Structure 1
Amino acid sequence: MELSDNYSKGKIVASGIIPFIFIILMMVYIFGPGADLLDFGIVLPEITIEKIDFVDSEIQVTVRNTGPIPVEVAMADVNDRIQPAAVEPDRFLDRFETTLVRIPFEWNEAEPYTVGITIEDGTRFEKEIEAAAPALELSLDLVIFFAVIGTYVGIIPVMIGLLWLPFIKKISKQKYHFFLALTAGLLLFLAIDSIEEAIEVSDENLATSFNGTLLVATVTVLSFLGLYYVGNKLVSKANSSKFTKPVAIALMISIGIGLHNFGEGLAIGAAVGMGSIAFSTFLIVGFALHNTTEGLAIAAPMSRGKLMLGKLAAMGIIAGSPAIFGAWIGGFVYSPFTSVIFLAIGAGAIFQVIVVIMKWIQEENDKNLSSLAVVSGFAIGMLVMYLTSILV
């Protein structure tokens, strides 16, 4: 009997493995003896200029081979004039390999430049810089500067938004559902904003071979699924006296907002590094007003639990402080690829939180999500975020 069971299990395992074996054999044939089947048309090379740094009397260009075939960097030009250039470590690039092209050039700050890279077959690729700015170098002053900016646009606005807690705590159940739905509307706007930013960064800085839009969609879905699983585990522990359901939901909201603010910090740091943004008082006020609503999103679920100032402050730090770390990374070691990844992760995390909030409203509101309080709250949440975003 035991032998029969083992034989049956072996058949099940074999039936699962055999299709994979055939897939592997098919791939081996196509890229081996059957390679002639794919040998048609013209294979075009492609390189991507990922980053341009302006240093003392030199322009440094980071180049990646994003095409299907190896390439050789032949020459460089600035504003359509060929310039001498050194290529480190070498001119030959396999697929996805990077190299640094160093161009001796007396550039002027705030002037526009177009940098071109030509490969061995004569194909030229270029990237335009609207205003040249010195590459940022790690220093204590810049670290403090980014920390201050991150605090202004991240921590302080969220903390201000948390001050709505006493008001929300004293309102009726129907009005409370309105603010929960308002929270969901605020978060939905943030999620859409994260996806829009990720696709924009992808379109402007990543090669088509990365399939930027599909990359954003894939990471967003994986982030949603992973955090949905973790979130359910978190909420399932909410019956304990030390960790209530409102605290669990507020923590998930804080994490989702924190991931969004990290991506926002990356964009801020990168913009400063490229010299394309001026941090005026109006801009700081605009960010602060926009992000203040994030504090309200955390305060809404916390208002139905016991008032815990320490946990509330911790939620604000979790949500706001990633803007500081994002600004540091964006300013000193910015990477478009990682920026797209973190923005997409933030979007997935926020979508997961929205699902949790709507399920909570449904449980508390006799499974009714179409009440006037819920619908109007959701709509007003998105409208508020849109209106405040105009100021940024």
Structure 2
Amino acid sequence: MEEQKRSKAKLVASGLIPFIFLIVMLAYIVGPGSTMIDLGVPLPELTVEKIDFVESEILVTVRNTGPIPVDVTLADVNDRIQPAAIEPDKHLERFETALVKIPFGWNEGEPYTIGLTTSDGTRFEKGVDAAAPALKPNSETVGFLLLIGTYVGVIPILIGLMWLPFIRKISQQKYIFFLALTVGLLLFLGIDAIEEALEVSSENLAGAFNGPLLIATTVLVSLFGLYYAGERLTKKSSLTKIANPYSVALMISIGIGLHNLGEGLAIGAAIGLGQVALSTFLIIGFALHNTTEGIAIAAPIAKEKTFIRKIIGLGLIAGVPAIFGTWIGSFGYSPFTSVIFLSIGAGAIFQVVIVLSKWLREYDKSFSSTPVVAGIAIGMLIMYLTGILV
């Protein structure tokens, strides 16, 4: 017994000693050793995260994303210095945010460039192509965004699920084609989510967050975490060794829902900035693009006995997050949050692609038959062509 205690103590010590040395080294680097390794001059960096236009005022949300504290001393609009109030104060520690209020008689639809200058004379700016009034969270605006989220998220997916009776009646070869089509649809959707996250990162996310690495890390953590959870959720059949179809459909719905949440954030932010013309053509484009997501949910459960409430439930899980995304994006948009949700959605979708591919191999061991190859290729092509309309 005594020997076991000593052995356990040695094990704990062997695990802690390297951490202790690491802490001592870091403490020395940031303390007494900091002057020895100080080889350059740290530069300030400010990131303008959001610009809101309200009545006779411009509100600028700014974050200190540099390595040192900064003081914001001047604000300008279109290169003309303007009086400004800074809340809570002009001094910003690293990653601290402030709200800069600039009294200014702006005109809707005109372009503006907002500049902020720090105490050392460094100027940072961000442009707005067309000024638009900031959305107010009242019942009218909330209802408008609810309608947009329903049009682009919920209704198209429910329409796609209406293909369920057709898929149920086709032959096994054609069913294999539709399963492969689902893989192609989701594969494109995952790539599209990463592309959107990279776009948001490059345009709005501070360099200090290292957007590409943040996206890659989040996608992989989401992929492996959800794959582990999915393996526990999915029950195996002792006769067919095929995953429970409803579990697969649920995972597809969750993955699409996370993706649509990220898309809703982007749509809501664009609406808030006045960058989206909500034309009939745009609604048609989103409807065509997202209807294919309903097909992706329907394919795994097409050969099973289905209940209308379960089908509607799956559609709502996939589509309703778009509504919440438009609300959050319009009233509290954050580039960091948008990148995170788009990346989580991509990881969730890739996880479903793996599960579906394993399931598809139960029908086609080679994974290279004409229905499989054609289904994946046509699925990606459909998403590309409908995506052009958005």
| TM bucket normalised to smaller | over 0.9
Give yes or no for the alignment of 1:59 onto 2:58.
Answer: yes
Partner of 1:26: 25
The Cα offsets for residues 85-128 of structure 1, whole Å up to 9 and x where unpaired, read as 11111110100111111111100000000010000000000000
Counterpart in 2 of 1:221? 220
Q: Give the Cα separation in 1 of the matches to 2:6 and 2:211.
A: 47
Q: Equivalents in 1 of 2:267, 2:254: separation in Å? A: 20
Q: Corresponding residue for 1:232?
A: 231
**Runs of 4 or more off by more than 4 Å in structure 1?**
237-240
Which residue of structure 2 lines up, in the alignment, with residue 379 of structure 1?
Answer: 377
Paired amino acid for 1:79: N
Matched, 1:87 2:86: yes
Q: Considering only aligned residues, what root-mean-square deviation do their CA atoms show, in Å? A: 1.4
How far apart in 1 are the matches of 2:196 and 2:89? 34
- Pairs within 5 Å for 1:40-59: 40-59=39-58
| Distance in 1 separating the partners of 2:237 and 2:310 | 15
**Mapped contact 1:77–1:116 kept (Cα < 8 A):** yes
Q: Deviations over 1:180-202 (max 9, x none)?
A: 11101100111111111111111
Q: Give the corresponding residue for 2:251.
A: 252
249 and 285 in structure 1: CA distance in 2 versus 1, 3 angstrom threshold: same
In terms of mean alpha carbon deviation, does 166-175 or 147-156 score higher?
166-175
CA distance 1:138–1:180, shift in 2 (3 Å): same
8 A Cα contact 1:238 1:248, kept in partner: no
Structure 2 counterpart of 1:262: 261
Where does residue 360 of structure 1 map in the other structure?
Answer: 359
Q: Which residue identity does 2:207 align to in structure 1?
A: T
Shift of 1:236: 2.4
Structure 2 CA distance for aligned equivalents of residues 47 and 239 of structure 1: 59
Listed as ranges, the matches of 1:94-113 within 5 Å are 94-113=93-112
Measure the CA separation in 1 of the matches of 2:89 and 2:236: 56
Q: Structure 2 regions of 5+ residues with no counterpart?
A: none
1:126 and 1:238 mapped to 2: Cα distance? 59
**CA distance 1:238–1:115, change in 2 (3 Å):** farther
Q: Which range moved further: 168-177 or 333-342? A: 168-177
2:341 maps to what in 1? Answer: 342
What is the Cα deviation at residue 239 of structure 1?
7.4
Aligned to 1:129: 128
- Return the alpha-carbon distance in structure 2 between the equivalents of residues 308 and 17 of structure 1: 55
Report the AA paired with residue 85 of structure 2: A
CA distance in 2, matches of 1:229, 1:349: 11
State how far apart, in whole Å, the 2-side matches of 1:384 and 1:126 are.
Answer: 40
Partner of 2:210: 211
1:5 is matched by which residue type in structure 2? Q
Whole-Å separation in 1 of the counterparts to 2:13 and 2:106: 65
Whole-angstrom CA distance in 2 between matches of 1:222 and 1:37: 38
| Secondary structure in structure 1 of the residue aligned to 2:137 | coil
Deviation at 1:6, TM superposition (A): 2.4
Q: In the alignment, which residue of structure 2 is the partner of 1:283?
A: 282
Q: 1:239·1:245 contact (CA, 8 Å) conserved in 2?
A: no
Q: Confirm whether residue 14 of structure 1 aligns to residue 13 of structure 2.
A: yes
1:238 and 1:331 map into 2 onto residues whose CA distance is 45
1:351-371 C-alpha deviation (Å, 9 max, x unpaired):
100000001111232x32122
Structure 1 pair 151–385 and aligned structure 2 pair: CA distance change class (3 A): same
Distance in 2 between the 1:308 and 1:134 partners?
46
Measured in 1, the distance between the counterparts of 2:96 and 2:69 equals 9
The match for 1:293 is: 292
**Structure 1 CA distance, aligned partners of 2:383 and 2:48?**
35
1:39-79 superposed Cα distances (whole Å, 9 cap, x missing partner): 11111100111111111111111111100001001100000
Give 3-state SS (helix, strand or coil) of 1:116's partner.
strand
SS at structure 1 position matched to 2:135: coil
Number of the residue aligned with 2:322: 323
Q: What residue identity is the alignment partner of 2:326?
A: A
Query: Aligned partners of 2:237 and 2:275: how far apart in 1?
Result: 46
- Paired with 1:234 and 1:178, the residues of 2 have a C-alpha distance of 26
Q: Provide Cα deviations, 1:283-305, integer angstroms capped at 9, x if missing partner.
A: 00000001000000001001121
Q: Which amino acid aligns with 1:111?
A: E
- Report the 3-state secondary structure (helix = DSSP H, G, I; strand = E; otherwise coil) of the residue aligned with 1:277: coil
1:153-211 Cα shifts (integer Å, max 9, x gaps)? 11111011111111111122222111111101100111111111111111111111000
Code of the aligned partner of 1:357? L
Q: Distance in 2 between matches of 1:237 and 1:383?
A: 32
2:110 partner letter:
E
Residue in structure 2 matched with residue 164 of structure 1 by the alignment? 163
Q: State the AA in 2 paired with 1:95.
A: R
Q: Tell me the equivalent position of 1:390.
A: 388
1:155 corresponds to 2:180 = no
Q: Give 1:238 shift.
A: 6.7
Query: For the Cα contact (< 8 Å) 1:272–1:331, is it kept in 2?
Result: yes
What is the aligned-residue identity percentage? 66
